[in-house]
Homo-oligomer: A and B are copies of this chain.
């Protein structure tokens, strides 16, 4: 994530002074990419900057903040599940810039489309962060720490779990010597459909039709995979339950 955010700020014309990582190789790699200086000791931090952006593992945020707070500069973290209070323990110049996207080092992401969630210790800092955020993203949202936690949970349902189900499908095909490429267009179209519409309105499959014959047949096909049977039953029940409240295309 640090890689993508740093590149986005660089491309928007901002000057990235330094990249810090305890691993000098990692620091140097990103620093080279964005024209910054690499450091691997927090004591080497150059305080001539407007903002420190902390993009480290959640449990390291407090320690890094403590080490930087003495410079009296704005400090922001980028974590979905970390409260702003973690920064406020050490400084009142604090905020959050949380980019809601799944990043991989091997894939380019159009950062302009990434929702950026902002929280700040006060209105002045909020305005500054908003101004900064608009230089890299067209999707700025004001989300506080409680909202960010909900978002992070919702993202597990919208991203991590679907990806796991793709893998289940891939394994089912592989077990029968079929190619995952058969499913790739379906996976993409399913995600594209909900870009404009509500997922409930475009739900398809045996559960939303309450097609018990097909569901029973599927459960029999999973007879030697009790965990997948459980998943199949639970998710089908969820679809049936939703559908009793709302109606969409079958």
Given contacts A189-B101, A199-B166, A238-B227, contact A194 B204 (CB under 8 A): no
Number of residues on chain A facing chain B (CB within 8 A): 87
Q: Is the CB of B239 within 8 A of A182?
A: no
Residue positions of A touching B, CB distance < 8 A:
81, 100-102, 104-105, 107, 109, 113-115, 117, 139, 141, 143, 146-147, 149-151, 153-170, 172-173, 175-176, 178-195, 198-200, 202-208, 214, 217-218, 221-222, 227, 230-232, 234-235, 237-239, 241-242, 249
Q: When the two chains form their complex, are residues B163 and A202 in contact, meaning their CB atoms are under 8 A apart? A: yes
Chain B nearest CB, measured from A6 CB (Å)? 18
A188 touches B185 (CB 8 A): no
Structural contact, B107 and A193, CB atoms closer than 8 A: yes
- Please tell me if the beta carbons of B235 and A163 are within 8 angstroms of each other in the complex: no
A178 to B149: give the CA distance in the assembly, Å: 12
**B187, A194: Cβ atoms closer than 8 Å:** yes
Out of B154, B161, B163, B221, which one reaches A183, CB within 8 Å? B154
Q: Is B147 a contact partner of A178 (Cβ separation < 8 A)?
A: yes
Tell me which of B150, B154, B205, B241 contacts A160 (CB under 8 A).
B205
Which residues on the B side are within 8 Å of A149 (C-beta)? 217, 221
Chain B residue numbers with a CB within 8 Å of A153 are 172, 218, 221-222
Task: Among B151, B183, B231, B235, point to the contact of A155 (Cβ < 8 A).
Answer: B183
Instruction: Enumerate chain B residues within 8 angstroms of A203, measured Cβ to Cβ.
Output: 160, 163-164, 167
Instruction: Select from chain B the residue with minimum beta-carbon distance to A208.
Output: B160
Sample (19) of A-B pairs whose CB atoms are under 8 Å apart: A101-B189, A117-B182, A139-B185, A143-B182, A147-B178, A154-B170, A155-B169, A157-B166, A157-B168, A157-B172, A159-B187, A160-B205, A160-B206, A163-B190, A163-B204, A164-B238, A167-B203, A187-B194, A227-B234
Q: Is there contact, CB below 8 Å, between A159 and B205? A: yes
